[in-house]
Amino acid sequence: MPSAEVINESLGTVRVYFSPRDQWNRSEVRSFDFSVFSPEKILKISNRALLSRGKLGTFDDSGVTLGSIVNTDDEKLLFYTGWNRTLTVPFNNSIGVAEFSSDGLLVRRGDGPIMTRTLFEPYSCASPFVLRESGIFKMWYASMDRWQEMAGRKPVHHYNIKFAQSSDGIIWERDGHVSIDYAEPAEYAFGRPFVLHEDGIYKMWYSFRGDRYRIGYAESCDGKNWERLDQLAGINRSLRGWDSEMIEYPFIFDCAGSRFMLYNGNGYGRSGIGLAKCID
């Protein structure tokens, strides 16, 4: 789940935060730098994790994956997904927040989540994307609405994208409002959304799947109610190669006068992180 931060516009240098996994499938946050002028060359990579899994028994003791980075007037925050392994289903997710320190590492605000299961959202919440507008934090996140039992197989998770907001980024108001919902019976999951607010329109790229992940697109006037326009996503799977089976987890950024998308390919990112350039 790559997230980009432009660190030198003239040189086209971008820092990408990403979530690799270890041999036990536990994710952490690291970073690497590259230039959009020569993306095949990695300029620098973090020599240690910026954020590792949490303390034993906490909501993120089985791993952490990226959501989104938000800059406020005096701090830089990462909203992220925490992973727990469970017995009856493969995992449970909650959402946490950490702050970047002066040395570039991440420090948790606390050992607990800022969003987790509730009476009315009883399963899981994950994959936060947060914008701060006029002092209000707005979040779009994946909310699980059920587990489906499968004979002889692991249960299948079903989740759509919901909306929440907060005045401080810690205490969140949510009423179960669904922003992006299933369009057909075969769909059952949505990946991390990415939202831009430009030209008076909220624009969302996200990944959705039935059999395999694809990247979709939607627009909204208010950020809560969306129209799916997946045909306008601007990217599709390749005919062959590392991203021919699935594409997912898009992140849009502007650098050196062009617009780019970072995304993952086959195997939910096992095959790597790719870069696409807008040609309009």
Q: 177: domain CATH number? A: 2.115.10.20
Reading across the β-sheet that carries 30-35, which strands appear in turn?
3-8, 13-18, 30-35, 42-45
Place of tokens 């899981």: 124
Report the distance separating Cα 54 and Cα 160, nearest Å: 26
* Residue 166 domain boundaries: 44-277
**pLDDT value of position 155:** 87
DSSP reduced 3-state for 86: coil
6 assigned to some structural domain: no
Distance CA 211, CA 121 (A): 25
187 occurs within a structural domain: yes
- The sign of the torsion formed by the CA atoms of 56, 60, 66, 70 equals negative
111 within domain boundaries: yes
Establish if 1 belongs to a structural domain.
no
pTM of the model: 0.94
Residue 32, token pair as written in the block? 């690497």
* Number of structural domains the chain divides into: 1
257 domain-assigned: yes
Distant-in-sequence, close-in-space partners of 159: CB < 8 Å, separation ≥ 6: 123, 124, 126, 142, 143, 144, 145, 188, 189, 190
3-state SS of 180-214?
A: ECCCCCCCCEECCCEEEEECCEEEEEEEEECCCEE
pLDDT value of position 73: 86
Q: What is the pLDDT of residue 149?
A: 86
Question: Does residue 89 form part of some domain?
Answer: yes
pLDDT of residue 245: 95
Q: Is residue 8 part of a domain?
A: no
Residue 210 lies in a domain: yes
Collapsed DSSP state (helix, strand, coil) of residue 43: strand
Please give the average pLDDT of every successive group of 10 residues along the chain, which has 280 residues.
Answer: 94 96 93 96 94 96 96 93 92 96 92 95 95 96 90 86 96 94 91 94 95 94 96 94 96 96 94 92
